[in-house]
Structure 1
Amino acid sequence: MGLQTPIEQVPNIGKSHAMRLHRLKITTVEDLVHHYPFRYENLGKPAQISEISLGGLNSATGKVWAIRNVRTRFGKNLTLATVTDGSASIEVVWFNQPFLTKVIKTGSEISLAGRVDLFSHRASFINPEYELVDSKTGGKSLHTQGMVPVYPETAGVSSKWLRSKIMNLLPNVLPKIEDPLPSGTLKNHRLIPKRQALWQIHFPTNENQIEEAKKRLSFEELLISQLMALERKRAWEKNQRGLRMNIPQEKVLSLIDSLPFSLTEAQRKVIKEILDDISKDKPMNRLLQGDVGSGKTVVAAVAAYIVFLNGYQSALMAPTEILALQHFKTLNSILKPLGVRVSLRTSSTKKDEPFDILIGTHALIARGAGFKKLAFAAIDEQHRFGVEQRARLRHKGQTPHILTMTATPIPRSLALTLYGDLEVSSLDELPKNRKTVKTFVVPPEKRARAYQFIGDNISKGRQAFIIFPFIEPSETLTSVKAAKAEYEYLQKEIFPDLSIGLLHGQLKSEDKKDVLERFSQNKLNILVSTPIVEVGIDIPNATIMLIEGAERFGLASLHQLRGRVGRGIEQSYCFLFSESSSRNALERLSALEKYHLGLKLAEIDLKMRGPGEIYGTAQSGIPSFKIASLTDLPLIKATKQEAIKIFSSRAIDKLTALSSEVEKQSLVPPD
C-alpha cells in the first residue's frame, strides 16, 4: 500500500466511509496521514477510582463488575455498568447505546475517560469514551489516556474512528515517506525528521512533542509555499522581457509640482521604487498597498505619465464601475492638461476612442480593448480578481510592467507568503490634513440618538452614508436589516424632510452614476447603500458613516467603508450598529473604536478570522495550509530566508523530494 493508494482501497474502510472522508478532502492514504488534529485532550494517567473527584475530565482503568441495559419509565435507554479497580468502584452510564452490552462483557478490563457527575445520587462516569484494554498492546490506551488528538470530523467519521485508522496505517506508511527537507535545514533550524513529526502530531506523549511536530510540519508547508513563489518570480523574469522606460527626471518633478497638493514622503519613496523598476528590461511585478486615502492613484498616474512620454500605453483596471469612474476623474484632472488622452471603458461604455491611458473594469479583458503598445498595467484591489484574469491582461501587450494596488491592508506575515513573488511597496503615511474618524459601536437603545446626531449634522450642510449588508431581507438572518426596505423606512419615518438616495449592485450603470452624481453635488443628504461604496467613492462633504449589521463585515471592509468619510476638513464620524450579542463580534467592532490604522486592524482580523474569510481564498490565491499559521511571523521569516538560500544556490535541483513536493503543490496556471 502506497501513499497514493485511493482511500477506498485501504482495508476496513470501505466505500461508504470513503465517501464520507471525501467530504474532509481525504482521497488517498497520504491525505489521511496529513489530516492533522486541531486540538488535544490531555487525559493524563488513569487515577485510582477512590481518588476521582466530581466535575472535569477524569480517566480510570478497571474491571467490569456488571453491565446491563435499562429502560426508564420516561422511555430512555440506559446502559449501566459498575467498574472496580481494587481501590473502589464507580458507576458508568451510557445513553441510547444498548449494543454496548454485546461489546463490553463482565470481567473485561476497560479504560474510561470523561466527565464524572452525580447520577441517581452516586458518582458516575456520564457517557464516557471507553476502550477495552488489550494485553497484546501492553495495555496502551489510544482514546482514554494521555494526549488524545481531536480531528476535524464529518457525519459518520469521528475522531475515535480516525485515531484507530491512522494508528493502523502509520507504521506501514512512515517508512515510505521521504523527508523533503535537506539535513542542513533540519540542523540549522532545529527541526525533527518528518517521520518523527508525523508520529508525534498524531500520537504525542506530551505537549513538547506537539510543539516540535507543529514547528517541523509548519516549516515544510511554509518553505514549499515560499519556493513556489520564487519559482513563479523566476518564470516571470525568465520567460518575459519588459519594456525599458527612459525616466526624464525633470518631467517627473514638473508633474509633481503641478499637483494641487503635496506628496507625502511615502508617496515619493514608492514613486522612486516604481520608476526604478520600469527603467529595467525585466517586467515589473510589484504590489502597492496603502491605507484608505493614502494616495495610490496618484502614484499610478506618475508611472502612467512616464510610459506616455516613452510613446506607450497604460491600463488601469478596477473591480467596479464606480471605482473605475473615480480613477478616470482623478487621472483625467491630473494628466489631461499635459496632453495625455485618458479614456474610460466599462461594460456600459461602448465608444472606442484613441487613448494613452485606458481605465476600466473586467470589460478591458472580456473584449478587445484596442491595446497596441501596452507597457504598464495597474490593477486596483487585486484580491478581487482571479489569477486567470490578471494573466490575460498581461498578454494584451509585450509583457507590460504590472502594478497591483490594494487598500486592503495586508499583514507582513501574509504579504511574505501570499505575495512572495512580488516586490512590495507600502504607503504607510496619510496626508497631514486628515483628521481621525471618530468611531463608536452603537447599542440598540442609542439608535434614536444616533439618528438625531445625523439630522443635526445634515442641518449644517453635511452628508451621510448609511450602509446595509444586503439589498433584500435575508430569510435566515431575519435580524439583519436590508437596504431597500430600510431606505423606505428611513425616508418615511426617520428623515421625512431630507433627500435620500439608494445605491446597490442591481441598479443599471446609468442609475448608479446618476445617484452618485446627485450625492456628489449635495443634491442628496443621505446615501443608503450596500457595501458597493467600499472603494472608489470620494465625497469630501460626507462626514458620517453609519453601518448596519456591522458584525456581518470583516474589519478590513469596515475600515474601507469608514474611509469613505474623513476626506474633507470637517470632523467625521463612523457609527457601527449591531444587533449581535456575540462576545467575539463585539470585540472585533471595539477594535475599530480603538485603532485607525488599517494594518493593525488587518492583523487583528487575521488572528480572529483567518485569511480565507478576510481576503476570499478562491480569488486571492491564499495558500490553504493544513497546519502552518499565517500569524507566525518569525517562522515565516525563517522559511523565507531558507527558501532564498535554497533557490539562489539552485540546491533545489538536487533535492529530489523537495523539488517534487514543490512541483506537486504548484497550482499556479501557466502565464
Structure 2
Amino acid sequence: MNRLLQGDVGSGKTMVALMVMLIALDNKFQACLMAPTEILATQHYESIMELLQGMDLNVKLLTGSSKKKEREQIHAQLISGELQILIGTHALLEDVVQFNNLGLVIIDEQHRFGVAQRAKLWKKNSIPPHVLVMTATPIPRTLAMTVYGDLDVSVIDELPPGRKPIETKHYFHNRRNNLNHFIRTEIEKGRQIYVVYPLIEESEKMDYKNLAEGLEYMQAAFPEYKTTMVHGKMKAAEKDAAMQEFAKGEAQILVATTVIEVGVNVPNASVMIIESAERFGLSQLHQLRGRVGRGAEQSYCILMTGYKLGEDSKKRMNIMVDSNDGFEIAEADMKLRGPGDLEGTQQSGLPFELKIANLTRDAQLLQHARNVANAILDNDPTLEKPENQILNKQLRKLARQKMNWSLIS
C-alpha cells in the first residue's frame, strides 16, 4: 500500500491510523507512526494509549528527549519483536532504530518531512512496509503524484457532528481597532486566541523581534488578560509549559510562530489571527487555520496583511477566504507554485520535464497515459519486446538515481 489519507483536522485520521496498525499487529507485523514535532508525537502517543486502554499491547514513544536508558530498552524490544507499535519523531529515522518485522509505516503531516527522510523508513525491513501518509493539506508534489497514479487516495470528507466550518476574513492593518474589539468580545465569551507571526528565514533576530513586539503589543492592548508566547528557539520544557498554560485556559492569548502549525489541540481556542499572512504559503495557512474550530463553537481565522500585495498573495488570501477544502487549496497551490519534481526531491516549482503538459488542466490525458503505461507493463513487465526497446532505453536514461523517488509519497 502507498496511500494518502486526506481529512481535515479532527476528522478522525488518528482513529483510522490505529485501526490499520491493529490489522498489522494481527498479522504478526510491527507498526510505526512518525510525526514532525515532539508535541504532536506525544499527543498521538497519549490519544492512542487512551484508545488502547485495557488491551495488552506494547506501545512506546521515541523522541529526541527520550532518555538513554529508555532508548536502549526500545531498541532491544524492537529487535526482539516484543515492541509492537513505535510512535515518534525524526528519531525513528536513525540507523540504530532497527525493527524485527516492520509491516506498516504511518507518516502524519507528511509535508513536514523531506522525501529522502521518508525513504529511510522503506529500508527498515527486507520487504518494504506498507505506507500510509496522512495530511489535512496535500502538498502540490503529492497532489501531482496522485494524478500520476503512484498514490492511492482516501478522503475523509466530513467534519465530526456539531463542528461548524471556520469563517475566514482578510483584514488590512488599518482594521486593527476593529480586530481588538472582536478579540475582546470573544475572550469575554470565554474563548481563547492564537496570534501567529511569520518566520522570516533570512533573519532570525528579526523574527524574534516581530514576536517579542507582538507579545508586548498584545499585553498592552489586553492588560486584563494573560498572554503567553511560544517559538521554536525555546527549550522543549519551556515550550511545553507555555502550551500547557494555554491548553488549560490559564492564558487567554497565545502569541507564537508556526511551531503551533501542527498537533496542538485546544478546543476552546476559537480565533486564529495570522499576522503578515502574505508571507505564508497556502498549505501553511490552511494548517494554521485548522488549530481552531475544534469545539462546537463558531471559530474564525483572520488574515492580516499590508496594502501592498502581489498578485499571488492576493490570490492566496482570496482562496483562503473562499474555501475550507484541503484538496481545493492544494490544487490552487499547485497552480500557483507548480507541482515539484516528480522524479527528484524538489517539492515545488515547475519540473523541467513537463514542457507542454499542465498537471491541473490535463488530468484526464495523464490518467489515460497512466492506463496505457500499465497495459504495456502488464503485457511486458521487463520491457524486453522489440516494440518496447525505445521505452526501455529512455527509462534507463532517466533512472540515474538508485532510489525511485516517484514511488515515495
TM normalised by structure 2 equals 0.84
The Cα offsets for residues 72-120 of structure 1, whole Å up to 9 and x where unpaired, read as xxxxxxxxxxxxxxxxxxxxxxxxxxxxxxxxxxxxxxxxxxxxxxxxx
Structure 1 contact 384–619 (Cα < 8 Å) conserved:
no
Classify 1:472/1:375 alpha carbon distance in 2 versus 1 (closer, same or farther; 3 Å).
closer
Counterpart in 1 of 2:407?
A: none
Q: Quick one: which of 298, 301, 304 aligns to 2:18?
A: 301
Give the letter aligned to residue 105 of structure 2. Answer: A
1:416 correspondence with 2:133: no
Cα distance in 1 for partners of 2:204, 2:35 equals 32
Give the letter aligned to residue 396 of structure 1. Answer: K
Classify 1:475/1:580 alpha carbon distance in 2 versus 1 (closer, same or farther; 3 Å).
farther
Shift of 1:579: 1.0
Shift of 1:511: 1.9
Counterpart in 1 of 2:238?
A: 511
Structure 2 contact 337–350 (Cα < 8 Å) conserved:
no
> Counterparts of 1:363-378 in structure 2 under 5 Å?
363-369=91-97, 371-378=99-106
SS where residue 233 of structure 2 aligns? coil
Shift of 1:387: 3.4
Shift of 1:295: 1.7
Counterpart in 1 of 2:322?
A: 594
Cα distance in 1 for partners of 2:332, 2:376 equals 32
Structure 1 contact 471–484 (Cα < 8 Å) conserved:
no
Cα distance in 1 for partners of 2:152, 2:329 equals 23
Higher relative contact order (CA 8 A, sep 6+): 2
Structure 2 contact 262–288 (Cα < 8 Å) conserved:
yes
Q: Quick one: which of 382, 392, 405 aligns to 1:659?
A: 392
Shift of 1:443: 1.5
Cα distance in 2 for partners of 1:609, 1:581 equals 20
Q: Quick one: which of 284, 287, 312 aligns to 2:29?
A: 312
> Counterparts of 1:15-34 in structure 2 under 5 Å?
none
Q: Quick one: which of 515, 523, 536 aligns to 2:250?
A: 523
Structure 1 contact 376–402 (Cα < 8 Å) conserved:
yes
Classify 1:484/1:473 alpha carbon distance in 2 versus 1 (closer, same or farther; 3 Å).
farther
Classify 1:518/1:595 alpha carbon distance in 2 versus 1 (closer, same or farther; 3 Å).
same
Counterpart in 2 of 1:559?
A: 286
Shift of 1:622: 8.6
1:485 correspondence with 2:202: no
Give the letter aligned to residue 605 of structure 1. Answer: D
Q: Which piece of structure 1 moves more, 647-656 or 577-586?
A: 647-656
Cα distance in 2 for partners of 1:312, 1:476 equals 47
Cα distance in 1 for partners of 2:64, 2:24 equals 26
The Cα offsets for residues 231-290 of structure 1, whole Å up to 9 and x where unpaired, read as xxxxxxxxxxxxxxxxxxxxxxxxxxxxxxxxxxxxxxxxxxxxxxxxxxxxx3222222
SS where residue 255 of structure 2 aligns? strand
SS where residue 601 of structure 1 aligns? helix
1:499 correspondence with 2:226: yes
Give the letter aligned to residue 425 of structure 1. Answer: S
Shift of 1:570: 0.8
Give the letter aligned to residue 439 of structure 1. Answer: T
Counterpart in 2 of 1:288?
A: 5
Shift of 1:413: 6.2
Structure 1 contact 385–620 (Cα < 8 Å) conserved:
no
Structure 2 contact 338–350 (Cα < 8 Å) conserved:
no
Give the letter aligned to residue 325 of structure 1. Answer: T
Give the letter aligned to residue 461 of structure 1. Answer: G
Classify 1:358/1:624 alpha carbon distance in 2 versus 1 (closer, same or farther; 3 Å).
farther
> Counterparts of 1:124-523 in structure 2 under 5 Å?
284-350=1-67, 351-352=70-71, 353=73, 355-369=83-97, 371-399=99-127, 400-409=129-138, 414-417=144-147, 420-470=149-199, 474=203, 482-491=210-219, 493-523=220-250
Identical residues among aligned pairs (%): 43
Give the letter aligned to residue 373 of structure 1. Answer: N
Structure 2 contact 146–152 (Cα < 8 Å) conserved:
no
Counterpart in 1 of 2:274?
A: 547
Shift of 1:426: 2.1
SS where residue 287 of structure 2 aligns? helix
Give the letter aligned to residue 192 of structure 2. Answer: Q
Classify 1:646/1:545 alpha carbon distance in 2 versus 1 (closer, same or farther; 3 Å).
same
Counterpart in 1 of 2:80?
A: none
Cα distance in 2 for partners of 1:543, 1:376 equals 36
Structure 1 contact 413–631 (Cα < 8 Å) conserved:
no
Structure 1 contact 409–598 (Cα < 8 Å) conserved:
yes
Cα distance in 1 for partners of 2:298, 2:87 equals 32
Classify 1:601/1:489 alpha carbon distance in 2 versus 1 (closer, same or farther; 3 Å).
same
Name which one, 1 or 2, has greater alpha-carbon Rg.
1
Cα distance in 2 for partners of 1:583, 1:471 equals 17
Shift of 1:397: 3.3
Shift of 1:336: 3.1
Counterpart in 2 of 1:646?
A: 376
Which consecutive residues of structure 2, in runs of 5 or more, have no partner in the other structure? 78-82, 405-409
SS where residue 374 of structure 2 aligns? helix
Classify 1:639/1:482 alpha carbon distance in 2 versus 1 (closer, same or farther; 3 Å).
farther
SS where residue 164 of structure 2 aligns? coil
Classify 1:333/1:621 alpha carbon distance in 2 versus 1 (closer, same or farther; 3 Å).
farther
Counterpart in 1 of 2:365?
A: 635
SS where residue 416 of structure 1 aligns? helix
Cα distance in 2 for partners of 1:312, 1:548 equals 46
Cα distance in 2 for partners of 1:473, 1:622 equals 24
Structure 1 contact 473–482 (Cα < 8 Å) conserved:
no
Give the letter aligned to residue 256 of structure 2. Answer: S
> Counterparts of 1:48-67 in structure 2 under 5 Å?
none
Structure 1 contact 387–621 (Cα < 8 Å) conserved:
no
SS where residue 52 of structure 2 aligns? helix
Cα distance in 1 for partners of 2:53, 2:136 equals 26
Give the letter aligned to residue 595 of structure 1. Answer: S
Structure 1 contact 285–422 (Cα < 8 Å) conserved:
yes
Classify 1:599/1:295 alpha carbon distance in 2 versus 1 (closer, same or farther; 3 Å).
same
Shift of 1:636: 1.8
SS where residue 303 of structure 2 aligns? strand
Give the letter aligned to residue 165 of structure 2. Answer: T
Shift of 1:386: 3.0
Cα distance in 1 for partners of 2:97, 2:261 equals 27
SS where residue 321 of structure 2 aligns? helix
Give the letter aligned to residue 300 of structure 2. Answer: Y
Cα distance in 2 for partners of 1:390, 1:537 equals 23
RMSD between aligned residues? 2.9
Q: Quick one: which of 243, 249, 260 aligns to 1:533?
A: 260
The Cα offsets for residues 337-364 of structure 1, whole Å up to 9 and x where unpaired, read as 3222322110111223554211111111
Structure 2 contact 272–288 (Cα < 8 Å) conserved:
yes
Structure 1 contact 550–578 (Cα < 8 Å) conserved:
yes
Structure 2 contact 339–349 (Cα < 8 Å) conserved:
no
The Cα offsets for residues 591-643 of structure 1, whole Å up to 9 and x where unpaired, read as 21111111112222222232349xx9625899543423221213322222222
Give the letter aligned to residue 541 of structure 1. Answer: N
